[in-house]
Amino acid sequence: MLLTASDLEKTFGSRTLFTGVGLTLAAGERLGVIGPNGSGKSTLLKILAGLETPDEGEVIRRRGLRCVYLGQSDHFGHDTAMEVVAASARRAGGAAGTGPDAEARAARELSRLGFDGVTHEVDRMSGGWRKRLSLARALVTDPEVLLLDEPTNHLDLQGVLWLEKFLRGLPPTVAVALVSHDRAFLEGAANRIIELSPAYAGGTLESEGGYQKFLERREQHFATLEQQRSSLANKVRTDTAWARQGVQGRQTRNKTQVEAGAQRRAQLQAIDRLRQTAGQSAAVGFEATQRKTNRLLVGHNLSKRYGDRTLFAGLDLVVSPGDRLGLLGPNGSGKTTLLSVLTGRLEPDTGTVKEAQDLRTVYFTQAREALDPTHALREALCPAGDAVLFRGQPVHVAAWAERFLFSKEKLKVSVGDLSGGEQARVLLARLMLQPADVIVLDEPTNDLDIPSLEILEEQLAGFPGAVVLVTHDRFLLQRLATSVIGLLPGGEARVFATHDQYLRATERADGPRTAVPRGGKQRRSADSGAAGASEPGPAKLTFKEKHELDHMEDAILHAEEQVAALEALAAEPGVVADHRKHAAVCEQLGIGQRHVEHLYARWEALSARA
């Protein structure tokens, strides 16, 4: 065992984050840590890293354990990628070495993580490349334990997929513990999940496997809890009936039975407290105008450029009630710009956007500038008076705040002192008060915890109007989106049935990639000229391989049709409602998608030898 934590407790002021928490971490494990906002996930990770000390309990680390913590923000004190990683290698000493050896080791790690040179300027890197640089800085120290706090922050979908694949490919000697609210990322990157929450008697609930397995485990846990409560409630009713028989009846009972009755009542109260805590989540519900118009938004031949770069061009779309339209593309591809065009905040360079008459659109922006940091929470939720008007009925501001998990005491706190997740809940609370035909959401899942994400997902699915959203949350897209607009390189914008189809299209658009050996030099192809002609060429195709290549397109087409059928099945409401059935379909879908990827790889390999 690399690391063992037992009976950990941590408080801030009068508030207890967690108590009685224990966990272990072994080589090869990929532990996903989840929990509501404020449950202490980041603090727990820092305690495991030795950056903070618990109030109670202990963390036992194997002697000489190399443990590296990567926080939510990436800070670098150097100008280039090479300087950042080489400095980390020199600080580590030992196997990392010093001088030229440190630079050689840094260059090797940078190459391994996709940097094609060592002079990349840190200030000009995107969020995704900064995250890769953080990993390179950590890996150059040859860590045995990696602790990652929200590693998918600021990554686009391609960056998240890269990170997921990278973590799965780490050596079996390395253990990883990561905090994340990205459910699809947890499903792909973790092989054990632990939820940190006061809803559990021991403060945590663990499950082997990915996120789907954890959902099944949690469902079983609360089903068992309900059975225990039902049994205890029956016994408590019997105890109460006996107690009401009077003193003469009680004298026929022994002291042990009286104590057992008191213990059962205490157990029932404890279970009820756990049930109440487990039921707390942001009560997000959107108000619709009940408009019957079939076409709410119609975009024709839309295009937009910035300088010499085309963000999107030739885009046609129709948004109708019931549509759940997802926008996908790398960071900087123009997703937020397209939202601005659709909502009239920005004019397209070509094309038109026509709205239904008196269309009511509400816009959730990812920018927190929409909130005045100097206002108290009370003022942010209710600018005037003591009540808000929700669906025609007045609701007191304290009751309104409670729906979004804010206590009465917090109403006096300044918005600027709220966490990112709390500010997101404030924006959602304001959004709820506006009747809408179309809800436009730009990264609504940023900073939201999983319980809030689940409620948001449920309410968006039940909204009778249309939803247009930008998100990197694959779990949300898979369950919600009826179609996806993908922004591809070169300004191409296409409509896809699912985000998986979009991902396959981006892989094909990138084209086959040449393998890069460990030394970093690309293998020369057969048409690389006279210099490559002297090298032995690839073996000719056998008769069987030629036959396989001739029928490969049909095989891929058939495999993609099977994947599309499974995707449709996974989106059916009856399947989504049944966790076990949905998990089985998702497992089949994963197998099918991997089969398609294998066929494409095989096709490229055979084509290269044809």
Higher pLDDT, 407 or 59: 59
Average pLDDT, integer, range 235-256: 59
pLDDT attached to residue 107: 87
pLDDT at 603 over 70: yes
pLDDT attached to residue 198: 78
443 Rama class: left (phi>0) / alpha (psi -120 to 50) / beta? left
Domain ranges of the chain: 3-215, 223-245+257-278, 297-507, 543-608
Residues in the chain: 610
> What tokens appear for 167 in the block?
């973590």
3-class state of residue 467 by DSSP: strand
Inter-axis angle of helices 81-92 and 100-112, nearest 10: 120
3-class state of residue 323 by DSSP: coil
pLDDT at 472 over 80: yes
Higher pLDDT, 92 or 360: 360
Distances (CA, A) of 176 to 45, 48, 523: 11, 12, 33
Higher pLDDT, 80 or 568: 80
The pairing of strands 393-396 and 387-390 is antiparallel
Is 3-215 assigned to CATH 3.40.50.720? no
Q: What's the pLDDT tens digit per position in 75-91?
A: 887 678 888 888 888 88
pLDDT at 246 over 60: no
pLDDT at 327 over 90: yes
pLDDT attached to residue 524: 34
Is 297-507 assigned to CATH 3.40.640.10? no
Helix (H) or strand (E) holding 85: helix 81-92
CB distance 603 to 556 below 8 Å: yes
| pLDDT confidence band for 23 (50 / 70 / 90) | very high
CB distance 18 to 42 below 8 Å: no
Q: How would DSSP label each residue in 14-82?
A: TEEEEEEEEEEE-TT-EEEEE--TTSSHHHHHHHHHTSS--SEEEEEE-TT--EEEE-SS----SSBHH
| pLDDT confidence band for 573 (50 / 70 / 90) | low
**pLDDT, mean over the chain:** 79
Chain CA centroid to CA 365, Å: 18
> What tokens appear for 553 in the block?
């397109």
Q: What's the pLDDT tens digit per position in 197-236?
A: 877 877 888 999 999 999 888 888 878 777 777 776 776 6
For the ranges 61-75, 221-235, 262-276, the one whose mean pLDDT is highest: 61-75
pLDDT at 193 over 90: yes
pLDDT at 498 over 70: yes
Helix (H) or strand (E) holding 243: helix 211-243
pLDDT at 409 over 50: yes
pLDDT attached to residue 533: 37
Range with the poorest average pLDDT among 252-261, 338-347, 468-477: 252-261
Exposure letters 233-249 (e unless 16+ CB within 10 A, then b): eeebeebeebeeeeeee
- Rounded CA-CA distance 173/189 in Å is 16
Q: Is the C-alpha dihedral spanning 325, 328, 331, 337 positive or negative?
A: negative
Q: What percent of the chain has pLDDT over 90?
A: 25
Q: Do domains 3-215 and 297-507 have the same CATH topology?
A: yes
pLDDT at 535 over 60: no
- Rounded CA-CA distance 476/326 in Å is 10
Residues 6+ apart with CB under 8 A from 342: 297, 299, 319, 353, 440, 468
Cross-strand partners of 350: 303
CB atoms within 10 A of CB 90: 18
- Rounded CA-CA distance 533/332 in Å is 42
pLDDT at 95 over 70: no
